[in-house]
Structure 1
Amino acid sequence: MSVEPIKSIYYRLRNIHLFGAHIRTLHHAFKHKTATPKRQVSNNQDTLLSQSTPRDMEPCLAKPEVQLDDKTNNVAVDAELVEAIMSRRILQSLITMEAWEGYTFAEQKIKIKESHDIYGAVMWPSAVVMGYFLDTHRDTDNLLDKNIIELGAGTGLVSIVASLLGAKVTSTDLPEVLPNLRYNILRNTKGHCRHTPLVTELSWGKELEQHFPQATCRYDYVFAADVVYCHPYLEELLDTFDHLCQEGTQILWAMRFRLDRENQFVQWFQSRFHIVELYDLPSLSIKLYRAVRKTQSGQVA
């Protein structure tokens, strides 16, 4: 037997084990919950929205439906929301030679091929969180015919969900990630989406105006999931966000907090963008943000 099938089987068994352990943790948390709100939105939202937040930004930075003051309620809502997100995962009934992950979003079964030899070609949980948000917030974030670009698309899950919801998607990543990304997007969107998604290279901070000129590349949304981690290109990433965001552009960005560097990046990010927290999932160490670019006067662009 070759090395590749053995490696694939190992990762399948590992993922099944981790998924089972996580669900057991969630069930334990449910035993202690005291409330069941409809939807979780961070109770820190009012803190994040300072008094200087412009009035014209208020519609897209809506007040939370439920205010949670009790720590037990926070844990309960986190557990409820994470279980709802994880319920979209399709568990394999058989161990196969191909490493893949399955999810149900936008009324479609999505099959994601992974490549464990490439860091960016592995499914990370922030993408699943964002996919769930897009699928369950079609009323507030209607993606039909919207122009969207995703940074660091990886295996393509977020781009696929956005395409299935009717968006015009440009899915980007580094050259070595593109073959697997292109395969996943074609496999899951062909014949199922309103607009054919574009897969193209984007190296953060490099030749942005040449390849993505601001005069013609105008986006309604910039998506990013798990693009902040221990790499030396955080300043270039921030410059890329800045270049792609114009008047009316919104950023949806999911991030898993691992080290202090993530907190530092959020501070840098807030120097250029107005930001609000949409999800806070302590059990996954993930937060989901919405942001819009500031003008030189500190107002919303």
Structure 2
Amino acid sequence: MELEGTAESETGTRADVDAGAGDEVLAKAIMSRRFSPSLITTEVWEGYNFADVGIRIKESTDIYGAVLWPSALVLCYFLDTHHDEYNLLDKNVIEIGAGTGLVTIVTSLLGAVVTSTDLPDVLSNLQYNVSRNTRGRCRHVPRVTELTWGQELEERFPRVSCHFDYIMAADVVYGHPYLNELMDTFEHLCQEGTVILWAMRFRLAPENSFVERFEARFHLEELYDLPSLCIKLYRATKKRPISQLSFGAAA
């Protein structure tokens, strides 16, 4: 699907990233993936270029969770420019707090089997965006379903049968009262071999302290640090319980 729109030429290349490009160069390359319609249309939408495809995203401004935040662009840019290292073809992926669905759409276009989740009042707009941008384009049809953090996790995603290769999360940590439930959700969905890719915009101390709590339970690696956007991108895997660690043969 070709989209009418205008886009800046992308600044920065994969070589820039690998060579340790400065914050401003990388941030500009990421934000250049966004474009606006060049024509007045009956529907308000924003355009994005990822996986060699023009993507239309409709926001629902009356619902906080249905607005696209820059963290999603950071995560999508990383996936799009690092698909050799993070090959998503046929991988089982879940996105939590999917919002407008951009990350779900990009991971689907890159070949993943995607489960896209959010709260019930977000699902209608999420399903609309996902269907509109993936229909007839993807190896696997993405699934959109409800997930309220911390609730009915085993019932909806039984650990014995639901194993995810990747958990995607963009801007799920902010000033909401459900950070404990979010932590429980990460812990339940993340099993041995699962990789979390999590983009976070740093705001206030209460949300920032979540990272310290997270590090107590997960191995955390910083992939991007973008001070100009106040965003960091992390890779995480679950720490093994002490009882499972091998300390050598018993005397």
Alignment TM-score, normalising by the size of structure 2: 0.89
Partner SS for 2:219: strand
Q: Name the structure with the higher strand share.
A: 2
CA contact (8 A) 1:101 1:123 kept: no
Match in the other structure for 1:263: 208
1-structure distance, mates of 2:243, 2:70? 33
1:263 to partner: Cα distance: 1.8
Partner SS for 2:160: coil
2-structure distance, mates of 1:275, 1:248? 14
Unpaired stretches in structure 1, ≥5 consecutive residues: 1-18, 21-26, 28-35, 41-64, 68-75
Question: Of 50, 74, 79, which aligns to 1:134?
Answer: 79
1-structure distance, mates of 2:55, 2:228? 25
Does residue 278 of the first structure (1) align with residue 223 of the second (2)? Answer: yes
Post-superposition CA distance 1:224-260 (Å, at most 9, x none) = 0000000000000000000001110000000001111
Question: Of 47, 53, 59, which aligns to 1:102?
Answer: 47
Match in the other structure for 2:173: 228
Partner SS for 2:212: helix
1:298 to partner: Cα distance: 9.0
Q: Name the structure with the higher helix share.
A: 1
2-structure distance, mates of 1:222, 1:121? 19
What pairs up with 1:185-200 in 2 under 5 angstroms? 185-200=130-145
Q: Give 1:237's aligned amino acid.
A: L
Number of equivalent positions: 238
Task: Rate the CA distance shift 1:297–1:112 in 2: closer, same or farther, 3 A.
Answer: same
Q: Give 2:217's aligned amino acid.
A: R
Task: Rate the CA distance shift 1:37–1:221 in 2: closer, same or farther, 3 A.
Answer: closer
**Which range is displaced more, 153-162 or 99-108?**
99-108
Q: Give 2:15's aligned amino acid.
A: K
1-structure distance, mates of 2:140, 2:128? 17
Question: Of 153, 161, 165, which aligns to 1:208?
Answer: 153
2-structure distance, mates of 1:290, 1:298? 24
Supply the RMSD in Å over aligned alpha carbons. Answer: 2.3
Task: Rate the CA distance shift 1:280–1:248 in 2: closer, same or farther, 3 A.
Answer: same
Post-superposition CA distance 1:45-99 (Å, at most 9, x none) = xxxxxxxxxxxxxxxxxxxx547xxxxxxxx711110111112112221344422
Match in the other structure for 2:30: 85
Unpaired stretches in structure 2, ≥5 consecutive residues: 1-6, 246-251
Task: Rate the CA distance shift 1:94–1:299 in 2: closer, same or farther, 3 A.
Answer: farther
Q: Give 2:55's aligned amino acid.
A: I
CA contact (8 A) 2:174 2:207 kept: yes
Percent of aligned pairs with the same residue? 66
Task: Rate the CA distance shift 1:37–1:208 in 2: closer, same or farther, 3 A.
Answer: closer
**Which range is displaced more, 262-271 or 142-151?**
262-271
Partner SS for 2:136: coil
Question: Of 167, 170, 179, which aligns to 2:112?
Answer: 167
1:287 to partner: Cα distance: 0.3
